[in-house]
Amino acid sequence: MQVGKSFGKQQLKITSTRVTHSGGVTTFEADICGRLTTPDGSAMHHGTYVFTASPGRKLVPYTYTGVSNFPSGYGAVLSGCGFSKRSSDGSGKLLLRGTMCHIGVSDPNLQQLLDEQVIVEGTLDPMENTLIGEGFEWL
């Protein structure tokens, strides 16, 4: 798999979390918020990760939905999915790897985003309440 340009390293804050248990499955939700700097400009971003863990599984699948609000008043909706796993250093951090794409863009000048798929890697740190990640163009 070839990756292209980086969309930059981002640091977002975890603003709230929820945990539920049902039928042996644990669901962990993390809401994030922060300023993104992208090639298309700066935007305020809000989103939610949903992790679904089953006993005995090392890889935990996740889904993501978020929205970026640009100073122009326009917005872009993102959707993604991937897998996470605990870091091996015992810190409780989750390492994320997946893909995202824009599923809606209200700015006519950003319509090209609808054709881009982004490979994402990140680290969710529940002790620091941060998500640090980077997205790359998928060629």
In the predicted model, what is the mean pLDDT of residues 118-132?
A: 93
Give the model's pLDDT for residue 37.
79
β-strand pairing of 41-53 with 25-38:
antiparallel
Q: Is the pLDDT of residue 1 over 70?
A: no
Query: Among residues 64, 81, 66, 70, which one has the least CA distance to residue 37?
Result: 70
State the pTM of this model. 0.89
Query: Among residues 66, 72, 79, 78, which one has the least CA distance to residue 107?
Result: 72
Q: Do residues 45 and 68 touch, judged by C-beta distance below 8 A?
A: yes
Beta strands in 1-139 (DSSP E): 3-22, 25-38, 41-53, 60-69, 75-86, 94-105, 117-125, 130-138
The position carrying tokens 């990756």 is 3
Give the model's pLDDT for residue 139.
80
Give the model's pLDDT for residue 119.
94
Give the model's pLDDT for residue 18.
96
Give the model's pLDDT for residue 26.
94
In the predicted model, what is the mean pLDDT of residues 35-49?
A: 85
Give the model's pLDDT for residue 6.
85
Topology of the domain comprising 3-138: Porin (2.40.160)
Q: Which residue has better confidence, 1 or 71?
A: 71
For 45-100, the pLDDT digits (tens) are 999 999 999 888 889 999 999 998 988 888 889 999 999 998 888 888 999 999 99
Q: What percent of the chain has pLDDT over 90?
A: 55
Residue ranges per structural domain of the chain? 3-138
Joined together, the tokens standing for residue 13 give 């804050």
